[in-house]
Amino acid sequence: MSTAGKVIKCKAAVLWEIKKPFSIEEVEVAPPKAYEVRIKMVATGICRSDDHVVNGNLSTPLPGVLGHEGAGIVESIGEGVTAVKPGDNVIPLFTPQCGKCAVCKHPEANNCVKLGLTNPPGTMQDGTTRFTCKGKPIHHFAHTSTFSEYTVVDEISVVKIDAAAPLEKVCLIGCGFSTGYGSAVKVAKVTPGSTCAVFGLGGVGLSVVIGCKAAGAARIIAVDINKDKFAKAKELGATECINPQDFQKPIHEVLKEMTGGGVDFSFEVIGRIDTVMEALSCCHESYGTSVIVGVPPGSQNLSVSPMQLLTGRTWKGAFFGGFKSKDSVPKLVADFMANKFPLNPLITHVLPFEKINEGFDLLRSGKSIRTVLTF
């Protein structure tokens, strides 16, 4: 029996307030309105950005359905939708691509004006929500809300991918993989033979390592306070691994000594103010480029001497690896299918969706890289 046009009752993980576990609840998911798409989720990864919401570092209206690294199948479409049709395999896009704004029209930029990160409304583009639980409207998160058996997204926030792609793997292309890989190949534009330093070896940082290697870096120095991450970093291309806690002096000084003055490219993939500064300082003062990938707590600011940049450094940052989402995600899926990069090593755990809190515990304890929840 077709569910199109009807309210769907299903399970979702609702975050009622910060610093609390997710509750698996029965929610009602309204049919998609015009230019909206309802998706049956098949798999979703757990990203540290979701945890930043839980711990209060990233603000979004609650109660809400989080999750932004998913893949699924279109269940039904609203009026006017042309980009996808029921039955299509899709990836929801937390960085939309409206195609019309100045950012979308710019050849390099990807931070579509519809992203609305600084003041997220927690709704669809029309200002209302499609989720209800116990009679209360439940907010959307990051245009995606993948921690639900069904979700509704705007047409600008979803893209069709190869029907043959394994959704329980390519869901990582919805955030962590693309963010890290693009930060290396597209944002920093890592050059062959160069030296790179990657701070933070989670799912995103290891994807930076994959990107540096793909771009032909000669040295990739991986930095993390959790030594358990080093074996995988080496497997994926890191040439050296260092733990800042093993040194008396600041790690940027150690890196400068190791590289005769500083690295060509550095990446902060943790989300801390102090490591953003260490990453900036460890790149060569005359020609180094440092890229901010991690999302630091919204309330904290940096104090930086302009001399850090006057000498010639470049300092950048980007969401989603600088990729224009609709244009790039299908290509990245095709590249994965052509074995141009691996995703399997990033997936350390697969759990049924109901075990979402266990998945977050694995991330917080440093035991997982990516946990994929399956529906």
Residue 349 designated active-site:
no
Residue 169 CA: distances (Å) to CA of 55, 176, 177, 179, 337: 27, 12, 10, 15, 11
Alpha helices in the chain (DSSP H): 48-54, 102-105, 167-170, 176-182, 203-214, 230-236, 251-259, 273-282, 307-310, 325-337, 356-364
Q: SS3 of 343, please? A: coil
> How far apart are the C-alpha atoms of 45 and 318, rounded to whole Å?
20
Backbone angles phi, psi at 39, to 5 degrees: -120, 135
By a kind-dependent CB cut-off of 5 to 8 A, residue 101 interacts, out of ligand PAD, Zn ion, none, with Zn ion
- Asked if 199 is part of the footprint of ligand PAD (rule: CB under 6 A), the reply reads yes
- Asked if 175 is part of the footprint of Zn ion (rule: CB under 5 A), the reply reads yes
- Output the residue with the shortest Cβ distance to ligand PAD: 202
Q: Residue 339 Cβ, how far from ligand PAD at the closest point, in Å?
A: 23
Residue 49 designated active-site:
yes
Q: Which of 98, 104, 171, 175 is catalytic?
A: 175
- In the list 67, 202, 322, 359, the residue contacting ligand PAD (rule: CB under 6 A) is 202
Q: Quick one: DSSP state of residue 101?
A: S
CB of 103 or CB of 133, closer to ligand PAD? 103
Reading the block at residue 316, the tokens are: 């950048």
What is the DSSP pairing of strand 89-92 with strand 158-160? antiparallel
- Which range touches ligand PAD (CB under 6 A), out of 59-67, 73-81, 82-90, 263-271? 263-271
> How far apart are the C-alpha atoms of 67 and 199, rounded to whole Å?
24
- In the list 8, 241, 269, 329, the residue contacting ligand PAD (rule: CB under 6 A) is 269
- Asked if 293 is part of the footprint of ligand PAD (rule: CB under 6 A), the reply reads yes
124: buried, middle or exposed (CB in 10 Å: 19+, 13-18, 0-12)?
A: buried
Contact 68, 45 (CB under 8 A): no
- Output the residue with the shortest Cβ distance to Zn ion: 47
Residue 364 CA: distances (Å) to CA of 47, 313, 375: 11, 34, 22
- Asked if 319 is part of the footprint of ligand PAD (rule: CB under 6 A), the reply reads yes
- Asked if 205 is part of the footprint of ligand PAD (rule: CB under 6 A), the reply reads yes
- Asked if 42 is part of the footprint of Zn ion (rule: CB under 5 A), the reply reads no
- In the list 25, 36, 168, 224, the residue contacting ligand PAD (rule: CB under 6 A) is 224
- Asked if 229 is part of the footprint of ligand PAD (rule: CB under 6 A), the reply reads yes
- In the list 15, 142, 172, 175, the residue contacting ligand PAD (rule: CB under 6 A) is 175
Q: Residue 233 Cβ, how far from Zn ion at the closest point, in Å?
A: 19
Task: Please give the positions annotated as active site.
Answer: 47, 49, 52, 68, 175
Interface positions with ligand PAD (CB under 6 A)? 47-49, 52, 175-176, 179, 199-205, 223-226, 229, 244, 269-272, 275, 293-295, 319-320, 363, 366
